[in-house]
A and B are shown apart, each in its own frame.
Chain A
Amino acid sequence: MNNTSRISFWNRLTVGTKIGAGFALALAAVAVIGVVSYRSTVKLTETADWVDHSHKVVESLEGVLSDLKDAETGQRGYLLTGDDHYLEPYLAAITAVHQKIADLRKLTPDNPSQQRRLDALEPLLESKFAELKQTIELRKDEAKGFEAALKVVKTDVGKKIMDDMRKVIGDMENEEHGLLKRRSDEAQASAQNTLYTIVIGSASAFVFLFLIAYFITRSIANRLGKITVAAEKIGKGDLRGEKLESGSRDEIGQLADVFNNMVESLKNLTGQILSVTGNVNSAAQEIMASTQQQASSTKEQAATVQEVTSTMQELTQSGSEIGDRAKQVASAAEASSVASRSGVQAVQDTNRTMEAIREQVEEVAEKIVALSQKTQAIGEIVSTVNDIAEQSNLLALNATIEAAAAGDQGSRFSVVANEMKHLADRAKECTVQVRTILGDIQKGINSSVMLTEEGVKRVEVGKQQAGVTERTINEMNSTTVESVQAFQQIIGASNQQQIGFEQVTQGMRDIRQAAEQTASGTSQLEKAVSNLNALSHQLRAAVEQYRI
């Protein structure tokens, strides 16, 4: 129970976290070891400084003693010789001793016992230097100076002071030597500790890191091995394996999930590829068929291009004929323009002639009307004659009646009356004939007047038509001029058309070459399609290796 929960906790961590945690532990161990080493090294360095310091103090103390001996040596020399240049070591020692005492004070400010000893040393120094100075001063008297100085020396005051000082300096040296020994021991112990820390820490870090690496490697490698086995099966085309357990949510688990999805997709894909391969097979067949169709249609196209080329040559021929005809028509249209100008002139002449005709016809109408008036006069005369004939008729009748009333005596008179009646009847018949003729004449006159009126109207209409004709001819003339321009444009266009026809013919040749290339390409395409067919069969065989 505890074990499984630990594993599940372990499995919840990602691989990156696991590796990161291992490296973090290693870094912590290295840091601990480094800190410990640093601290012990610093301590060793400090101890070494202190040892050096102690050596400096001891050296200064030895220097003080040496200087004191130099000063005493210089004094003894002067005392013995009285020569001033023996005083030089003495004078130099005084200055050097004071300097060394000051250095010592500076070197040992943290050590009160040494300071006290220095405090004790300084009066001794002063008294020693005072004794030396006294003797030197005494020796300066040439006469009895040596004696007096010797006497002072023989008092042994100076020696006693010197011994005291030796004792004080010896104490100080001893103390410094003790300090030195103690600090060396401390440094030794610190170095030992450091050594232990490094050895133990390194060993424990090594062990710990080895364990972590073992666990991480085991958790990654085992599961990757399972996935590898499954991938090997898939690589051999077997897609029927069981699903992998994801186990954990780390990258390997995600990889297992993705792998499962991949297998599923691969199954679908393989099925699709199988069906698509079938489709590719049939499509390759179709492409083969359409390629053969294309080959035959390419041959037809070549034949058609040949026909179009010959047609284009005919077109070129007819185009040049069109150009020639257009030139002829243009010259004819120019001639027509000239003719239409003379036509306008003729129409204007016709107009004037028609005006003259109208005037003459109106004059004719006037004359005819005058004739009609004369016919009226004749009619009146005829009417009078008719009246006379009527009266003569009645007169003859009355004469006949009178003759009848007269009986036999009136018979001859009756004959005369009868003759009278005959004459009257004939006169009346003549008037009737004259009237008929007059009516005909009047009708003729009326129709003549109407005809002349009609003629005048027609002349008017003719004038209007002549005007229309003139306008029409003018319009025709302008149209003809436009036509001339248009035909000149046609001639130019026909020339361009010839160029275009030649270009089209050239293009047709190019098309024929292209068709030939297409034919060769089509045969290559046929080969490629048969290859494709074989390839699709191979693909199908390859895909059928997959067992879903």
Chain B
Amino acid sequence: MSNDRARIDWDGARRRLQEADAILERALVADAEKIDRVYRDRAAQMAKRHMGAVTIARSMRVLIFSLGLEMYGIAISDLVEVLPSTRCTPAPRGAAEIAGVINLRGELRSVVDLRRLLSLPPGADEPVTCILMLRNGRDEVGLKVGRVEKVQTIREDELASPETGGAEGYGSYVKGLSPDKVIVLNTAALRLHPAIRNSR
């Protein structure tokens, strides 16, 4: 065994090193083949039809994010913006669902822990957390969620009824379950939650 390891193929090693150098050189320098491939990709990209351009009846655009092991969706028409994870200052006399407050461009906004609000079991901390700023009348309130994935268009007639699987209180915040197993939240019901309603 040690004998085999001792017999390293030095010529092969040197050859592999030279090949690696060449690959690195080619990666850093644009050659014709690479430029051609980029052009083909760009052409394919430009040939795509815009999803937003196609108007689908009774469809909605949804921001999809993770919370625990589940994927949730929320209509982007109810959102103001998405913020990267920030440290929340704990608020005095706050409800149990309030994670704290943040300073956003000179104004204080409450941040609600969506996990607590949905009465989910407190799992391990999300690797990446984002704060979704939810439109709340004339005000805004932050929702602390997991990782933000993407924006997707979902047809409302494809949503499954939330009454099939849902605990008491939990079901009212869910609008339905998409075929992609995304739980689409009912923004209007969320706004009626005392923690959000009183946070203005």
| A-B interaction | yes
Q: Are B84 and A414 in contact (CB under 8 A)?
A: no
Chain B residues near A45: list those with CB within 8 A. Answer: none
Minimum C-beta distance from A277 to chain B (A):
96
A400 close to B (CB within 8 Å): yes
Bitwise interface map of A from 469 to 483 toward B, beta carbon under 8 Å scored 1, else 0: 000000000000000
A405 close to B (CB within 8 Å): yes
Chain B, 56-86, CB within 8 A of any chain A CB = 61, 63, 76-77, 79-84
State in angstroms the CA–CA spacing of A421 and B84 once bound together: 15
State in angstroms the CA–CA spacing of A419 and B50 once bound together: 10
Q: Are B50 and A411 in contact (CB under 8 A)?
A: yes
Bitwise interface map of A from 378 to 403 toward B, beta carbon under 8 Å scored 1, else 0: 00000000000011011001101111
Minimum C-beta distance from A445 to chain B (A):
15
Minimum C-beta distance from B176 to chain A (A):
20
Main secondary structure of the interface of B (DSSP, over half): strand
Chain B residues near A391: list those with CB within 8 A. Answer: 84
Q: Are B77 and A405 in contact (CB under 8 A)?
A: yes
Residue of A nearest to B80 (CB): A401
Q: Are A397 and B53 in contact (CB under 8 A)?
A: no
Chain B residues near A398: list those with CB within 8 A. Answer: 81-82
Q: Are A397 and B82 in contact (CB under 8 A)?
A: yes
Choice from B45, B79, B151 contacting A421 with Cβ under 8 Å: B151
**How many residue-residue contacts, CB under 8 A, span A and B?**
45
Chain B, 10-58, CB within 8 A of any chain A CB = 45, 50-53
B117 close to A (CB within 8 Å): no
Q: Are A394 and B151 in contact (CB under 8 A)?
A: no
State in angstroms the CA–CA spacing of A403 and B51 once bound together: 14
Choice from A390, A400, A405, A415 contacting B50 with Cβ under 8 Å: A415
Interface residues on B, range: 20 to 34
Minimum C-beta distance from A429 to chain B (A):
13
State in angstroms the CA–CA spacing of A385 and B130 once bound together: 19
Q: Are B82 and A401 in contact (CB under 8 A)?
A: yes
Q: Are B52 and A401 in contact (CB under 8 A)?
A: no
Chain B residues near A411: list those with CB within 8 A. Answer: 50, 52-53
B99 close to A (CB within 8 Å): no
Centre residue among B45, B52, B80, B150 by max chain A CB count within 10 A: B52
Residue of B nearest to A410 (CB): B52
State in angstroms the CA–CA spacing of A402 and B81 once bound together: 8
Q: Are B82 and A394 in contact (CB under 8 A)?
A: yes
State in angstroms the CA–CA spacing of A411 and B63 once bound together: 16
State in angstroms the CA–CA spacing of A391 and B130 once bound together: 11
A541 close to B (CB within 8 Å): no
A404 close to B (CB within 8 Å): yes
Choice from B51, B79, B148, B150 contacting A394 with Cβ under 8 Å: B148
Residue of A nearest to B63 (CB): A397
Interface residues on A, range: 20 to 34
Q: A411-B52, A415-B52 are in contact. Are A400 and B151 (CB under 8 A)?
A: yes
Chain A residues near B81: list those with CB within 8 A. Answer: 398, 401-402
Q: Are B151 and A418 in contact (CB under 8 A)?
A: yes
Q: Are B76 and A401 in contact (CB under 8 A)?
A: yes
Bitwise interface map of A from 412 to 431 toward B, beta carbon under 8 Å scored 1, else 0: 10110011010001000000
Q: Are B77 and A421 in contact (CB under 8 A)?
A: no
Centre residue among A397, A403, A415 by max chain B CB count within 10 A: A397
Chain B, 95-145, CB within 8 A of any chain A CB = 128, 130
Q: Are B84 and A400 in contact (CB under 8 A)?
A: no
State in angstroms the CA–CA spacing of A394 and B51 once bound together: 20
Choice from A394, A418, A421, A425 contacting B83 with Cβ under 8 Å: A394
Chain A residues near B53: list those with CB within 8 A. Answer: 411, 415
Q: Are A394 and B50 in contact (CB under 8 A)?
A: no
Chain B residues near A393: list those with CB within 8 A. Answer: 148
Q: Are B76 and A404 in contact (CB under 8 A)?
A: yes
Minimum C-beta distance from B13 to chain A (A):
13
Residue of B nearest to A393 (CB): B148
Residue of A nearest to B130 (CB): A394
Q: A397-B148, A411-B53 are in contact. Are A404 and B84 (CB under 8 A)?
A: no
Minimum C-beta distance from A72 to chain B (A):
188
Choice from B76, B83, B130 contacting A400 with Cβ under 8 Å: B76
Chain B residues near A414: list those with CB within 8 A. Answer: 52
Minimum C-beta distance from A281 to chain B (A):
92
Residue of B nearest to A419 (CB): B45
Chain B residues near A403: list those with CB within 8 A. Answer: 52
Chain B residues near A401: list those with CB within 8 A. Answer: 63, 76, 79-82
Q: Are B150 and A404 in contact (CB under 8 A)?
A: no
Minimum C-beta distance from B167 to chain A (A):
30
Chain B residues near A405: list those with CB within 8 A. Answer: 77
State in angstroms the CA–CA spacing of A384 and B26 once bound together: 24
Known: A400-B61, A411-B53. 9 other contacts (CB 8 A): A394-B82, A394-B84, A394-B130, A397-B63, A398-B81, A398-B82, A411-B50, A418-B51, A418-B151
Q: Mind listing 12 A-B residue pairs with CB under 8 Å?
A: A391-B84, A393-B148, A394-B83, A394-B148, A397-B63, A401-B76, A401-B80, A404-B61, A411-B53, A418-B52, A421-B150, A425-B150
Closest 3 CB pairs of A and B: A398-B81, A397-B82, A414-B52
